[in-house]
Amino acid sequence: MRGLLPGLLLLAGASCAAAEPVAVSEAMQWLTKIATAARQTNYSGTFVYQHGRQSETSTIAHVASSSGEYERLEVLDGPPREIIRNNDNVTCYFPQEKSVVIEKRTMSSFPSLLPEQLSSIEENYVVKKGDHDRVAGYECQVVKLEPRDNLRYGHDFCVELGSGLPLRARMYSDQNELVESFAFTQLRTGNNINKDLLRSRYANKSQGWHIDRSALQHTTASAESGWVSSNQPAGFRKIIEMKRSIPGSSAQAAHIVYSDGLAAVSVFIEPLPKAPPPSGAAHQGAVNIFVRPFTDHMLTVVGETPARTVRQIAESFNLSR
């Protein structure tokens, strides 16, 4: 499990003010603007990710052109990490481990947190327009997503009035407690973003590093792995299935991702290690984890959802043959 989780956990005290309901069409217009702006706006800046008592600062640069999206993210705190994205091709550099992970993009990240297709959002969340606020010197509009059940977190976005770019994103538990937040502290938008900001700091230094391309070998057919969920939570659908290598082993792990259109849950299924981690629940910030042995395999379910959701998924998995 230790080798499988870092990429996922990379993934990165205020009260939720009451919002008056407005016409869903108006709130959805803002949501559509958010989804579009995060992909089409050129920007560079610094944002802070907070969960519990921990915080992490990152720099990001994003450029959209006729050929697609290009992005570089560097984590400034703790072990150095850099993520380079060319459209859906993602390269992650881990200098301390001298390793590189190359994969297809399957998870959203701040500020591009919403999918292009928003139809499933309304199935699982009530969308409301909130008040105006101010983040990183920009005026912004609050848009709230209130979950229709207790299987997912609530969200609010503070969106720059002109571009629609999310300046802040917060996630709340069903007890209205802040679970995690992302917020720009410095931001520049427009077409004059320096393309040098997209260049990797580590690409030329990574010759000879370990390169993991196992996530590129994926399939969308669950029957090929033989693992199926008999009782997945309402609103969650499988979006991808792939195989991943296990560091230090010739074996492979199945990796299956479920999503409700906003929240994502990953299921890792690997041969049972000689010294397996403790079974049961754990969490890190908004991420809940549930480990369950099953015959000669170990299931590890990881998701930015309430603990009950990852547990339900973990306990629902069986071999189909």
* 76: amino acid identity, one letter: L
136 pLDDT above the threshold of 70: yes
Mean pLDDT of the chain: 86
- Residue 177 is given by DSSP the state -
Model pLDDT, residue 248: 63
Q: Which residue has the higher pLDDT, 223 or 273?
A: 273
Give residue limits of the domains in the chain. Answer: 6-205, 214-319
| 146 touches 125 (CB < 8 A) | yes
CATH of domain 214-319: 3.30.200.100
Nearest-Å Rg of the Cα atoms of the chain is 20
How far is residue 225's CA from residue 205's CA, in Å, rounded to a whole number? 37
Q: Give the distance from CA 114 to its chain's centroid.
A: 10
Q: Which residue has the tokens 């890792």?
A: 268
**Helices assigned H by DSSP within the chain:** 6-10, 24-40, 119-124, 222-225, 307-316
Mean pLDDT value across residues 192-202? 92
Q: Which CATH architecture has domain 6-205?
A: Clam (2.50)
For 306, the token pair is 């309430």
Least confident of 33-42, 114-123, 309-318: 114-123
Residues 6+ apart with CB under 8 A from 36: 164
Residues 6+ apart with CB under 8 A from 162: none
Cα distance from N-terminal residue to C-terminal residue, the chain: 25
How far is residue 259's CA from residue 34's CA, in Å, rounded to a whole number? 19
Q: Is 217 exposed, middle or buried (0-12, 13-18, 19+ CB in 10 A)?
A: exposed
Confidence of residue 195 (pLDDT cuts 50, 70, 90): confident
- Please give the model's pTM, rounded to 2 decimal places: 0.83
| 155 touches 171 (CB < 8 A) | yes
Of 278, 301, 308, the closest CA to residue 5 belongs to 301
Instruction: Give the whole-number percent of the chain exceeding pLDDT 70.
Output: 86
Residues 6+ apart with CB under 8 A from 65: none
